[in-house]
Amino acid sequence: MAQVEYIPGTCNIGGSELKSRRIVAAIGLLLSLVTLISFISTDVPRAARLGIFLPLLVMSVGWVQSRKKFCLAYGFAGTFNFGKLGSVSRVADPIARAADRKTALKIIGECVLYAAVLTALVVALPL
């Protein structure tokens, strides 16, 4: 069953917002693959491979937000959206806003961890 209501610290986006997060994840994946292919084809030094961190971070942010149905920016701003893109509503309850900020921080940490682990794997590859 699809999630269609705001739940503090758990769910703050639906429908079209989820679709846009999936698109961001796909763009991040594409950028990561293009970057990796360029690393392989140009024989870059290991230290230069750290540059793949940013596209991997874009990918992980889009993917995690779409999987968790939670937008980082909305969590920090105290807003949510279950309608069309750009149609945000404010979270009135300060306890709910605090729960959203806590979840947003956890998601940032998770995304950075995923990107860092994948970056370490790329750096370790014998290209």
Helix and strand element counts for the chain (H, E): 4, 2
73-101 tens-digit pLDDT: 999 999 999 999 888 999 999 999 999 99
8 Å CB contact between 21 and 72: no
pLDDT of res. 64: 98
Whether the predicted model's global pTM rises above the 0.75 cut: yes
Residue 73 lies in a domain: yes
Residue 80 lies in a domain: yes
* Total number of domains constituting the chain: 1
pLDDT of res. 43: 87
Q: Which domain holds residue 53?
A: 15-124
Query: How many Å apart are CA 27 and CA 21, to the nearest integer?
Result: 10
42-72 tens-digit pLDDT: 989 999 999 999 999 999 999 999 999 999 9
Residue 103 lies in a domain: yes
Q: Residue 123 has which token pair?
A: 């750096």
Q: What is the 3-state secondary structure (H, E, C) of 46-60?
A: HHHHHHHHHHHHHHH
Residue 70 lies in a domain: yes
1 — pLDDT class (breaks 50, 70, 90): very low
E strand map for the chain: 79-80, 89-90
Query: How many Å apart are CA 60 and CA 108, to the nearest integer?
Result: 9
Residue 26 lies in a domain: yes
